[in-house]
Structure 1
């Protein structure tokens, strides 16, 4: 499976008074990393929406395992991989590394959605095979 990487520098405002990352910020970075992952595979979110008539891929479940703290000034790398596709859902794993050491693992389940017929809500829709193929055949980046 395709793995993308992006670098994040920990800013002062990302941290709590103990100068470690306030944990919700990891989930913010993981969310941005999922969007980056689609872009790195050649399907930036606006293109995904335009091409397939979807409205996005909301998160329906998330968790994390914290191994080492990150602090103000640290430069970390987030590796993102879609590990499984269902019919309309997909599982995403993130690995946040500092100096090559695992600090945090993040896990997401997301669902591809479109507008309902009446336009009042959203409903799941199948992940197109072409989308799945991009994550099976794209090289690491």
Structure 2
């Protein structure tokens, strides 16, 4: 399984009045990490990937998280993102957030590789390209850049 590791410095704007990261900010970070893992396996950014594969994107249909340790302004966290389960058109994304050696958050997303159906005009799931499935399934660890 391909794992992308991204270091993120917590900014002042990520925090609530108590000085800890306001939880929706993590989901913004996770969305960036999901885009980054696809950029790592395809070699192109999300805009180019949408154009190349004729998709509108990969919208989230389910998400959740367990928060163990809070993060504060100025701290650095590392987000380990992987895709542990791939279906025909849907896939699950795992985000494990570490503060130092300590596991701070375990989160997941379920997303669907999606396009607009030409007949109905509705959004629908389409099969993931085999080369992307293969790349995401290949064991590898990549140290990404902060997104």
1:122 alignment counterpart: 123
1:55 alignment counterpart: 56
The structure showing larger relative contact order (alpha-carbon pairs under 8 Å, at least 6 residues apart) is 2
1:84 alignment counterpart: 85
1:93 alignment counterpart: 94
Structure 1, unaligned runs of 5 or more: none
C-alpha deviation, 1:100, in angstroms: 1.7
C-alpha deviation, 1:47, in angstroms: 3.2
Q: Check conservation: 2:41, 2:132, Cα contact below 8 A.
A: no
Q: Check conservation: 2:42, 2:132, Cα contact below 8 A.
A: no
SS state of the match for residue 49, structure 1?
helix
SS state of the match for residue 134, structure 1?
helix
Q: TM-score, normalised by structure 1?
A: 0.94
C-alpha deviation, 1:49, in angstroms: 1.6
Q: Is 1:31 aligned to 2:31, yes or no?
A: yes
C-alpha deviation, 1:21, in angstroms: 0.5
Structure 2, unaligned runs of 5 or more: 143-147
CA distance in 2, matches of 1:110, 1:26: 17
Q: Which runs of 4+ in 1 moved over 6 A?
A: none
Q: Check conservation: 1:41, 1:138, Cα contact below 8 A.
A: no
2:145 alignment counterpart: none
**Deviation string for 1:51-93 (max 9, x for gaps)?**
2211100000000000000001110110000000011100000
Q: TM-score, normalised by structure 2?
A: 0.90
For the aligned residues, what is the CA RMSD? 1.4
1:65 alignment counterpart: 66
Q: Check conservation: 1:93, 1:108, Cα contact below 8 A.
A: yes
SS state of the match for residue 104, structure 1?
strand
